[in-house]
Amino acid sequence: MNPEDLQKLATMTMPFGKHKGVLLADLPGNYLGWFAREGFPKGEMGRLLALMYELDHNGLRELLRPLRGGR
């Protein structure tokens, strides 16, 4: 992981699926868990979703708050 990945989680939106258009940082934990069970996509998006899953699973979503302007 690099610091740019955290910024991407706070600014990039989900490009496909049920939650298309939702910020990666706002994806629900059960959706991230589904990817963890079924497999993350290839490439950067999969890497970012896996990182967001780890943050959510370990109760670390608050780390993204400063990058989101406090929200």
Model confidence pLDDT, tens digit, residues 12-40: 999 999 999 999 999 999 999 999 999 99
- Which H helix or E strand runs over 17? none
Question: Measured between alpha carbons, how far is residue 15 from residues 8, 20, 28, 41, 70 in Å?
Answer: 13, 5, 15, 12, 24
Query: What pLDDT shows up at residue 23?
Result: 96
Query: Residue 2: is its pLDDT beyond 90?
Result: no
Query: What pLDDT shows up at residue 70?
Result: 58
Looking at the 3D structure of the chain, how many domains does it have?
Answer: 1
Q: Domain residues for 58?
A: 3-68
Query: What pLDDT shows up at residue 66?
Result: 85
